[in-house]
Amino acid sequence: MLSIDPGHGDARAETRAVTNDCVFDGVRIERGGNVILDDISFSLPKGSVTAVLGPSGAGKSTLLHALTGELRPTRGSIEILQKPIPKSTRALMGMRRCIGVLLQGNGLLSDLTVGENIALPLRVHTQLKDVVIRRVVELKLNAVGLRSAIDVYPRELSGGMARRVALARALALDPPLMLYDEPLTGLDPIAIGVIVSLIGRLNKTLGITSVVITHHIHESLSIADNVLVIANRGIAFHGTPDQLKASTDPLLQQFLRGEPDGPIPFDAKRQAVLAGA
């Protein structure tokens, strides 16, 4: 879209509207009568990588479940890919086809080969012929550097390789939105570096929007455009990695340094009391 400054004759400035793939507006989410997240508002731009950080039990996984429509807010609204999360089961399943999820435990089926695991969502959700499915599987495996592993079983893979296979399966339907649930947990430093590099490279190459829920602060910040820090039932920080590192907020400093004492209490009951204060 072009805008013309009337005070400068033919001078023109190009402006681009930012498209947000995830928008939370005043969201409150409860579980079992307990408020987990309260008055959450933020937006994540299309094509960005957002790292979601915070102490254990703060609500990071709850946020992920809200993004997939598994948990409904008791207040506020959520939009995913420029649309409100649908209420009907059929429409919700249609929305979820546009979301790839990399599970912490990989979720690979041990009785299926690597290729069959990746082909599964294609067989369930498309009418593609076998020869086309095979080609798509090869392309996805090639993207994560494991094309030669197409006919082996998950039990024959290392932890890092299995995580890459799970990533290839999550990308099988070419989702515009990717959710990563602790993608670096349980991996050795080299495997962590490989997965982090893959997430960043695939995000840029495919132009997708990624949300990475993680405890690995420094690794995730290396590829993140935005950072959300969740603590005490709300958003303690939302900004860039550089802004997070420069913050003097005691809560953020405690979390970044891994200090046991500070605004984030070790005792869960005390944390709940402080959050309600």
pLDDT digits (tens, 9 = 90+) for 14-62: 445 678 999 999 999 998 888 999 999 999 999 999 999 988 888 898 9
What rounded mean pLDDT belongs to the chain?
86
Q: Domain count of the chain?
A: 1
pLDDT of residue 199 exceeding 90, the answer is yes
The answer to the question of residue 118 being in a domain is yes
* DSSP reduced 3-state for 231: strand
Per DSSP bridges, beta strands 226-231 and 12-14 are unpaired
Side-chain half-sphere of 76: how many Cα atoms within 13 Å? Answer: 20
Q: Report the pLDDT value the prediction gives residue 266, as an integer from 0 to 100.
A: 60
Q: For 14, phi and psi rounded to 5 degrees?
A: -85, 130
Confidence of residue 158 (pLDDT cuts 50, 70, 90): very high
Q: What is the mean pLDDT of residues 201-223?
A: 92
Tell whether the model's pLDDT for residue 187 goes beyond 70: yes
Residue 215 lies in a domain: no
Q: Is the pLDDT reported for residue 260 higher than 90? A: no
Confirm whether 187 is domain-assigned.
no
| Range in 33-37, 217-221, 270-274 the model is least confident about | 270-274
- Whether the pLDDT of residue 11 is over 50: the answer is no
Is the pLDDT at 255 greater than 90? The verdict is: no
Instruction: Answer yes or no: is 127 within a domain.
Output: yes
Asked whether residue 126 is domain-assigned, the answer is: yes
pLDDT of residue 267: 57
Q: How do residues 122-135 score in pLDDT, each as one tens digit?
A: 999 999 999 999 99
Domain that holds residue 170: 107-174
Residue 166: inside a domain: yes
139 lies in a domain? yes
pLDDT at 17: 63
Q: For residue 272, is pLDDT > 80?
A: no
124 part of a folded domain: yes
Q: Is the dihedral of CA 254, 259, 262, 268 positive or negative?
A: positive
Query: Residue 31's pLDDT is what?
Result: 87
For CA atoms 241, 243, 248, 250, give the dihedral sign: negative
Cα–Cα dist 52/229, whole Å: 6
Q: Which two tokens stand for residue 7?
A: 């005070």
